[in-house]
Amino acid sequence: MDESRFTQEEEAILNALRDHFPDLPMEIGKTCGQLAILVDKKMIFPVCKILKEHSAALFDYLADLCGVDFLGKREKRFQVVYNLYSIARNHRIRVKTDVGEEDCLVDSVTGIWKSANWHERELYDMFGIEVRGHPDLRRILMPDDWEGHPLRKDYPLQGKGQRDDFSFVPKEDRQPTRTPRGRGESW
């Protein structure tokens, strides 16, 4: 890959990773002008630790951690994305790792950023991706007895029976919530 398009700061970050992990296979690129790397899921904790602690990086803020479901589009169905920000250096990086459906597990980064706690719980709750080493891995948005993971692409669009009991008023039968006023306004 042609890395001449990276800034000096980005090169310093990549060099820090290469120095600490000389045999680390990683895909490097830019997404919307932001440095993005894809690493093996076994390396996510050590890579994130270096990104937080190394003087060239100093990514002290985990801005977001989320999942992506590529159902039927990739060999490994899921991807976990860590969006990091350095307050001191005012730069960002996106760290991604692929997760297969058969081994749906990543290591927790709560030991690096405490804010990962709820993000990882949401990842587990919405996608069913287990987080090894998490201090309190349980549902955060859905009830404890909920079946399934709503952000998976194979989750039924109408839910699993939860909406069957709601009464439905078709739009054309609804009463207006306000009356039209002014210059020719009408329904």
Nearest to 95 by CA among 152, 153, 133, 43: 43
- Contact predicate 93/84, CB 8 Å: yes
- Tell me the C-alpha distance between 7 and 11, whole Å: 6
- CATH superfamily entry for domain 8-153: NADH:ubiquinone oxidoreductase Nqo5 subunit (3.30.460.80)
| pLDDT tens per residue across all 187 residues of the chain | 444 489 999 999 999 999 999 999 999 999 888 999 999 999 999 999 999 999 999 999 999 999 999 999 999 999 999 999 999 999 999 999 999 999 999 999 999 999 999 999 999 999 999 999 999 999 999 999 999 999 999 887 765 555 454 454 455 555 555 555 555 555 4
The model scores a pTM over 0.75: yes
